[in-house]
């Protein structure tokens, strides 16, 4: 159990000590501990629901929207799904066993680049209390300790989940301090976490752009940003237009509130009229608001005029900005200028055009003939997901267990000198 009276710095220090021990524990122990934690969450589901009702009551009293209250809710089904998530992570292959490389240097030294846990991961997140269990599982599985800081609206739910995890992990041989939750809701305590560079190796902010920006700005610790996705679909002059309509519709409508949903749709002028004749009615039927450039507004009577600001907005809603372009180059330049470097797709049967788009669009994930919605750790086959990094360094795009590791060089000699 965490010490409610300890300072944030004490709690981070304990996580650092736990990380040193955790890195020496084998995968069987780490995985069995996660299995045990899953069982515990199921067994104590009623207790979790009870604490969750406290958060929901406070949220209702504080005027949280229905959408936010739904994000906060831990139904019996969601608790089951959280437990199943722990088991799924437990069953993944040990990321620390994945080899990097080894070689012999000219001096005869045998050099091994060995995968190791990063150490202590700090995660700052909003609303959804299941993140507490998900992230703790990914960190423990990859041999990392974790310091969690959830939103104050979920404090009772997060606390009981963290308590149950810590207790059960500890019984199963994982240092209990490996999973720490900051329970204070003081801003100064979050700041103390962001300055605890001696004890935390990396900070991962998961939440809205405001949260991510504030964390990046105030942290002395390296940050792996999970920033917004202003994603594009570009319908090329050589597109299969039926496929293009399906992809554009899927990328916008299937789940508009996530970072890999499409925000901007670019259409080559030579196919614009024909393409709009298909996608226009489908968007209209689905209730999608269209904000278009001049040509789009001429061809699609339902569209309203887009303003400059619309081209770089992450709507996270049934709104799409649509522009007619006169060339592939214009499309590429547009994506690189207005996009957020997250996920962008070209629809075309022209392989030269596809290759040019894939080469030149400077985004974490570039697609040809597929929906941008595939950018996540599960769809990529990682079996789990910390989130989608918008950093360029260390981890880019979907982050799985591997991205929670780093390396050291282990060098064996026979007395070599320089």
Q: Which residues bind its own copies (CB under 8 A)?
A: 20, 24, 103, 105-107, 109, 111, 118-119, 201-202, 217, 220, 222, 224, 240, 243, 246-247, 250, 254-255, 336, 354, 358-360, 362-371, 373-374, 379-381, 391-394, 396-398, 406-418
In the complex, the smallest distance separating the C-beta of residue 406 from its own copies, rounded to whole angstroms, is 5
For residue 186, give every residue at least 6 positions away whose Cβ sits within 8 Å of its Cβ, in sequence order, or none: none
What is the rounded distance in angstroms from the CA atom of residue 364 to the CA atom of residue 340?
9
**CA-based nearest residue to 295, from 323, 268, 276, 319:** 323
Closest CB to its own copies among 68 and 241? 241
* Greatest Cα-to-Cα distance within the chain, rounded to the nearest angstrom: 79
Closest CB to its own copies among 37 and 118? 118
Backbone angles phi, psi at 102, to 5 degrees: -150, 150
In the complex, the smallest distance separating the C-beta of residue 331 from its own copies, rounded to whole angstroms, is 15
Closest CB to its own copies among 296 and 390? 390
Backbone angles phi, psi at 347, to 5 degrees: -110, 115
- Residue corresponding to tokens 């997060």: 158
Encoded tokens for 178: 């490996």
In the complex, the smallest distance separating the C-beta of residue 96 from its own copies, rounded to whole angstroms, is 11
In the complex, the smallest distance separating the C-beta of residue 156 from its own copies, rounded to whole angstroms, is 34
Could you tell me how far CA 224 lies from the centroid of its own chain?
10
In the complex, the smallest distance separating the C-beta of residue 120 from its own copies, rounded to whole angstroms, is 10
In the complex, the smallest distance separating the C-beta of residue 147 from its own copies, rounded to whole angstroms, is 16
Neighbours of 21 (CB within 10 A): 14
Closest CB to its own copies among 184 and 406? 406
What is the rounded distance in angstroms from the CA atom of residue 267 to the CA atom of residue 322?
8
Closest CB to its own copies among 12 and 368? 368
Name the β-bridge partners of 291.
Answer: 304, 321
- Residue corresponding to tokens 């069987």: 28
Closest CB to its own copies among 204 and 290? 204
């Amino acid at each position: 159990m965490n010490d409610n009276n300890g300072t944030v710095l004490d709690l981070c220090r304990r996580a650092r000590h736990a990380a040193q021990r955790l890195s020496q524990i084998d995968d069987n122990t780490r995985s069995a501990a996660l299995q045990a934690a899953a069982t515990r969450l199921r067994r104590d589901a009623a207790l979790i629901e009870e604490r969750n009702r406290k958060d929901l009551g406070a949220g209702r009293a504080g005027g949280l929207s229905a959408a936010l209250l739904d994000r906060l809710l831990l139904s019996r089904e969601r608790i089951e799904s959280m437990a199943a998530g722990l088991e799924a992570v437990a069953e993944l292959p040990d990321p620390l066993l994945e080899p990097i490389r080894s070689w012999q240097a000219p001096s005869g030294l045998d050099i091994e680049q060995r995968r190791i846990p990063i150490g202590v991961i700090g995660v700052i997140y909003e609303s959804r209390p299941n993140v507490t269990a998900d992230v703790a599982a990914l960190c423990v599985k990859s041999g990392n300790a974790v310091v969690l800081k959830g939103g104050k609206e979920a404090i009772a739910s997060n606390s009981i989940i963290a308590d149950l995890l810590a207790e059960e992990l500890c019984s199963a041989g994982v240092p209990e301090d490996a999973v720490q939750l900051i329970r204070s809701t003081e801003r100064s305590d979050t700041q103390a976490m962001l300055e605890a560079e001696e004890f935390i190796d990396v900070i991962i902010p998961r939440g809205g752009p405001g949260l991510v920006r504030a964390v990046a700005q105030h942290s002395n610790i390296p940050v792996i940003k999970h920033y917004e996705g202003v994603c594009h679909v570009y319908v090329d002059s050589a597109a299969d237009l039926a496929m293009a309509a399906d992809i554009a519709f899927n990328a916008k409508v299937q789940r508009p509130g996530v970072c890999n949903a499409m925000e901007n749709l670019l259409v080559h002028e030579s196919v614009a009229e024909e393409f709009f004749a298909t996608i226009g009615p489908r968007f209209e039927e689905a209730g999608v608001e269209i904000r278009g450039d001049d040509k789009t507004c001429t061809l699609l009577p339902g569209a309203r005029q887009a303003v400059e600001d619309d081209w770089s907005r992450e709507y996270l809603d049934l709104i799409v900005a649509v522009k007619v372009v006169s060339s592939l180059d214009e499309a590429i330049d547009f994506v690189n200028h207005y996009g957020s470097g997250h996920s962008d797709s070209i629809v075309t049967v022209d392989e030269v055009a596809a290759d040019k788009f894939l080469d030149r669009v400077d985004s974490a994930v570039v697609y040809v003939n597929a929906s941008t919605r595939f950018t996540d750790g599960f769809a990529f086959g990682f079996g789990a997901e910390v989130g989608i990094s918008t950093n360029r360094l260390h981890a880019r795009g979907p982050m799985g267990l591997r991205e929670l590791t780093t390396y050291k060089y282990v060098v064996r000699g026979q007395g070599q000198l320089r």
